[in-house]
Amino acid sequence: MVALVQRVSEAFVEVDGAVVGRIGRGLLILLGVHRTDTEKEAAWLAKKCAGLRIFPDDEGRMNRSVREVGGEALVVSQFTLYGDARKGNRPSFVASALPEKAEPLYELFTRLLADHLGKPVPTGVFGAMMNVHLVNEGPVTLWVEKRAEEPKD
């Protein structure tokens, strides 16, 4: 499972011209689910995102988490994060989980993140064509990934 985490001063997501999720200062998390992911990866990643120390302290150093600054989070599903463009010009998405697996893990990640933050976490609409608007503060953007362990032979 991968989270492309962006520190934002504001962000919102639209579906068919209607805003379906909006936050002020906090984290915009674009979430990709790998075909091998389980609940274990969702739990690890939610805890990691809530605790990332990427907000400035009183001395301006990145030393505070979104929890510590009272920030919010917005989660948007994005299967294209596991796109593979190494061959040819058209990316392959075979590493991305199919919707019937990805959606429950996306929802679990969002619930666990809300638990860690102690507040609701707005989202986009899974599988919808969305327009994501953000003001990246910094800019600060991190790729955070937890992959399921490969079975040992």
Active site residues: 78-80
Per DSSP, helices labelled H in 25-151 are: 39-51, 99-117
Between the alpha carbon of residue 97 and those of residues 1, 31, 60, 79, the distances in Å are 10, 12, 39, 8
Token pair of 105, please?
């893990």
Between the alpha carbon of residue 74 and those of residues 9, 71, 85, the distances in Å are 12, 10, 27
Between the alpha carbon of residue 151 and those of residues 36, 147, 148, the distances in Å are 11, 12, 9
For tokens 């102690």, the residue is: 118
